[in-house]
Every structure is written in structure tokens, then in C-alpha cells.
Amino acid sequence: MEATTEKPNRIHHGRNVKRFREMLGLKQDALAIELGEEWNQKRISLLEAKENIEPDVLAQVAKALKVPEEAIKNFDEEKAIYNIQNNYDNAANNINYNFNPIEKIVELYDEKVALLERLLASEKEKNELLKNK
């Protein structure tokens, strides 16, 4: 007997419909109105409780929510949370500066000193020229 290490498909179409509906700020009543006369709040509630939604109904709901059917079929909340956490953690931990800020300040200071020395030398040269005339 083979042991399978894969997790069973945990995608719950009804919960996904609810997630997208809530993200869009729609109440169940509003979605029912979008879907047509045969729909009401109670039927939306029952739909959101279903693990698998029939393809034709799923297509109708996706169209009403203005999202792709595939988004409802494949949205996995656990994977989304995992991705968000990892991307946030990696972004926070992988800040790499291409320069040392203190070294940059010292470099700018040295440039300023060199510029002032050139300016002073130029002024001395002007004074010498004026003295000679």
C-alpha cells in the first residue's frame, strides 16, 4: 500500500466566493441581485457553504463578481498567506545597501574640502595677477 504525502485539495469554492465578495465590499443581497431573480440572500449563503460549485453556477458567479473563474477555482488561502508572509519577511530581511552611509558622508566631505582648496588656490592666483598689474 502506497502512502501519499500530498495534502488533499483544500480549495473550497464557496469560501472563495465569499472572500472575493467581501473583498469587493458586496453583501450577499447585492450579489443575489447581480445574479438575477432566482437568487436571494439565503441561496448565496448556501452557495458559500458548498465546497464544490457546479461549473455553470461558478461561471455565473464569477461573471457577477467580475473575477476570472480560475481565481475562484484555484484560490488557496493558505498558499496566499504563506506567500504574503514569506515575501514580506524576505523583503524586510534582504535590504542590501550598495554603499555604507558613513563612508558616503566622508566621501562628500572630502569632495567639499577639495573643492574649497581649489577655490582658495584660484583666489590666490587672482590676487597674484592683480598684484602684478
Q: What are the tens digits of pLDDT across the range 68-116?
A: 898 888 887 777 777 777 776 555 555 555 667 788 888 888 999 999 9
The pLDDT tens digits of the residues spanning 9-56 come to 578 999 999 988 998 899 999 999 999 999 999 999 999 999 999 999
Rounded to two decimals, the pTM is 0.55
Residue extents of the structural domains in the chain = 13-79, 98-133
Give the CATH fold of the 13-79 domain: 434 Repressor (Amino-terminal Domain) (1.10.260)
Cα gap 55→92, rounded to integer Å: 41
Nearest to 50 by CA among 9, 22, 11: 11
E-assigned strand segments in the chain: none
